Amino acid sequence: MNFLKRLFGRDDKFYDLLEASAREAQNSARILSALMPKIGDDRAIHESLELLAQSRRKHKRISQEITTALCRTFVTPLEREDIEALSSALSRVPKTMEKIGERLLICPLNNHAESMIKHVAMLEAATNTVVAMVNALRTNPHVEEVEDEYAQLQTLEGDADRFMTSLLSELFHGKAEAKDAIFLKDMYELLEKAIDRCRDAGNVVFQVVLKYS
């Protein structure tokens, strides 16, 4: 009976795994957010980098579990390609955040922490929205039930893009040393990329809801 249920049943484990994946992306953002006020403290950066690495490893295990479950389950609650697309989009978020942590270890740039704090706050808000959207999938929602979160995610991405443009403008018209300018440009672009990854995950969720509505 258990075998037949696994073979033909609409197993909820995929919702569990996708929700866990989204929460781990959210956790990475929270780690970065907690680190921002401590930029310049090498010990805090090392500790946060280890936490980001742990989160990334956990996320890899979740992604592998999803892949394994897809191979062993005959009927899935969502189409296989949708599960794979969402899992792939979510996996890119912690990966990008780990890169941000690694850059901070190389060059903390505590004099520019304020701008990064605002950027990371946008990133954390984006991951919160992604978690809400992924959690909604389990209830087979109508489009109207995820439209607000989807619009919020698009707005966050647009605001972050404009904020990065203003930061880059200040950077290249200011008095920052060349090496700092190059490094900060890389940081701003990584932060923007992480938010873009959240938007990508939100796009997948919205497309899935449209398909099933």
Instruction: Give the per-residue pLDDT at 12.
Output: 83
Instruction: Give the per-residue pLDDT at 65.
Output: 95
Instruction: Give the per-residue pLDDT at 69.
Output: 92
pTM listed for this prediction: 0.88
Instruction: Give the per-residue pLDDT at 51.
Output: 94
Instruction: Give the per-residue pLDDT at 55.
Output: 93
The helix, strand and coil proportions of the chain, stated in percent and rounded to the nearest 5, come to: 85, 0, 15
Sorted by where each begins, the domain ranges of the chain are 2-212
Instruction: Give the per-residue pLDDT at 27.
Output: 95
List pLDDT tens digits, range 176-190: 777 777 888 888 899
Instruction: Give the per-residue pLDDT at 74.
Output: 83
List pLDDT tens digits, range 42-55: 888 889 999 999 99
Pair of tokens at residue 51: 């936490």
Fold of the domain built from segment(s) 2-212: Methane Monooxygenase Hydroxylase; Chain G, domain 1 (1.20.58)
Instruction: Give the per-residue pLDDT at 145.
Output: 86
Half-sphere CA count of 99, side-chain side, radius 13 A: 15
The position carrying tokens 């907690």 is 34
Instruction: Mark the ranges of the chain whose per-residue pLDDT is less than 50.
Output: 1-9
